[in-house]
Structure 1
């Protein structure tokens, strides 16, 4: 079972839900949800639906930030202490100034 599948199962249990409860929450039959939780390969749309039903959000995190985010979520670090300085370089923000927001 992958980390994703384990996270879904842990979250469902933390909310006090059974697999069959997911049908009422998101309209997914128990058998389909059970397959997903036991290692199924969901489409992104299905994963987002399940996440919403479990009060979660699907996010993409850059590989170089994963450890920092995991430490923050487990209370091991304070993100404000590790925050990177804001850069004004156009390569860091190619959209800067496009809408006349240069002074912001």
Structure 2
């Protein structure tokens, strides 16, 4: 099994990595023209994919939507919150995810 596309993202600061991911994903999206971009979890690539989809007008799905730690000092918490703000299709893995999204005025 091998990837269809390799973004070639090198180690670096979160901002540098996200910038490289977004540039690489923009190229892939322009080549493939997907009907939906699905992002998973709460890592920097999740947020980078979400922003890329949003800016290119691609509907976004987020697997693990609504999960929260309530600790904004965690980089992953910011990624979760921002991704869910621009998600079109929420894929929720547990009841607390639904509860958090409803409390935030989502779905």
With the length of structure 2 as denominator, give the TM-score of the two structures.
0.25
Larger Rg: 1
Structure with bigger RCO (C-alpha 8 Å, 6+ apart)? 2
With the length of structure 1 as denominator, give the TM-score of the two structures.
0.25
Give the strand-richer structure, 1 or 2: 2
